[in-house]
Amino acid sequence: MLIQEARTDSGPKELRVKIGVEYHLKLHALKLLRGKRMSEAVEEALAYYFERVRLEQEAAAAELPAMRDEP
């Protein structure tokens, strides 16, 4: 799966999802600690998540050529 950068020319979209209570509490804590709205806390959490996924994909891609060279 390829994760692309979000288009900057599109405006905010509403997305309704059901999440577990543990994630709701974590997002609420992030909201309170950062002094932001819930939507901003969700955006911050998603940005962190997608950056982490990108870094993991890059690390995995960097390991593939090394594995091919091994006998």
pLDDT greater than 80 at residue 70: no
Please give the tally of structural domains in the chain.
1
Q: Residue 68's pLDDT band (boundaries 50, 70, 90)?
A: low
Is residue 1 included in any domain, yes or no?
no
Is residue 15 included in any domain, yes or no?
no
For position 37, what pLDDT does the model report? 93
Domain containing 49 equals 21-69
Is residue 4 included in any domain, yes or no?
no
For position 12, what pLDDT does the model report? 82
DSSP for 12-70 reads ---------HHHHHHHHHHHHHHT--HHHHHHHHHHHHHHHHHHHHHHHHHHHHHHHH-
Is residue 2 included in any domain, yes or no?
no
For position 50, what pLDDT does the model report? 95
Is residue 48 included in any domain, yes or no?
yes
Is residue 59 included in any domain, yes or no?
yes
pLDDT tens digits along 3-55: 666 666 678 888 899 999 999 999 999 999 999 999 999 999 999 999 999 99
